[in-house]
Amino acid sequence: MVVVLGKIALKRMVIILDGPPASRKTTLASRIIRKIGGCVVHYKGFGPANLIAKLILKINPCLIPPMYDERRGDPFLFLSTRYWSKLHIVIMLLECLYKIMQQITIALLILLKRVVVIDEYLVLRLANYINAFKHSIIDLRDLSIVYQLDISLLEAIKRMAQVKYVYIEPRTKILLENWKKRGHKVPYDMNFLAIVKRSFKVVRECVTKMDKDKISLIIIS
């Protein structure tokens, strides 16, 4: 796939790498950049919420659960809903601003670098939103708002560049092996994997309805 992309690297292009945790998206992103140049944007969800959660856990370590793994990058899931009920509006405003800032950054990088690789996007983001909903951190209205905003941002991206949406879906055995190699202390979350798979079905239906001359979906298994 890297060789094929290399032939059309002279165009303005955005390559989105998506898939479940431990599917080696970041490794593939590094390989693409080494091959055709450009830059990588790590498009994580709930950045402000996780930052606030990290500060709370640092100030009050007794809130840290026994199985907490800071490398997972989602500490906001470990805080009780009483924190988020107080910070709910602030979190949503910060998340929307965070998305807009990311979009501006991506737009500038497209103009400057021509090739931009986005590490994680709609599928994992939607899975994170659903997971946050299950933890009572956001409600259905919030979930709809942030997901529709992500869709709008993708629409804006494809107006600026050719988009290759690459979804990586290794076998479960490979995911478990990769997770273990990364040294995580907690077991691989099979429930979250199921959410990711359901999210992919939603995103695939959405992406396939978009202009095929502007965006294409590539599935790697």
Per-residue pLDDT reduced to its tens digit, 69-95: 666 557 777 766 666 667 778 778 888
In a domain, 108, yes or no: yes
CA angle 171, 36, 219 (to 5 degrees): 25
Q: Give a yes or no: residue 206 inside a domain.
A: yes
Note whether residue 182 is domain-resident: yes
C-alpha torsion 51→53→56→57, nearest 10: -110
| Six-digit token string for 12 | 């303005």
Share of the chain above pLDDT 90, in %: 48
99 located within any domain:
yes
Structural domain boundaries enclosing 203: 2-47+91-220
- State the Cα–Cα distance between residues 16 and 18, nearest whole angstrom: 6
Residues 177-199 have pLDDT tens digits of 999 888 877 789 999 999 999 99
Strands (DSSP E) contained in the chain are 13-18, 39-42, 115-119, 162-168, 215-220
Q: What is the CATH number of the domain that holds 200?
A: 3.40.50.300
**Is-contact 119 26, C-beta < 8 A?**
yes
Asked if the model's pLDDT at residue 117 lies above 90, the reply is: yes
Residue indicated by tokens 């959410």: 195
pLDDT band at 137 (very low <50, low <70, confident <90, very high): confident
Provide the domain count of the chain: 1
Q: CA-to-CA distance for 171 and 178, rounded, in angstroms?
A: 11
Residue with more model confidence, 82 or 156: 156
pTM of the model: 0.84
CA dihedral 126, 132, 137, 138 (to 10 degrees): 20
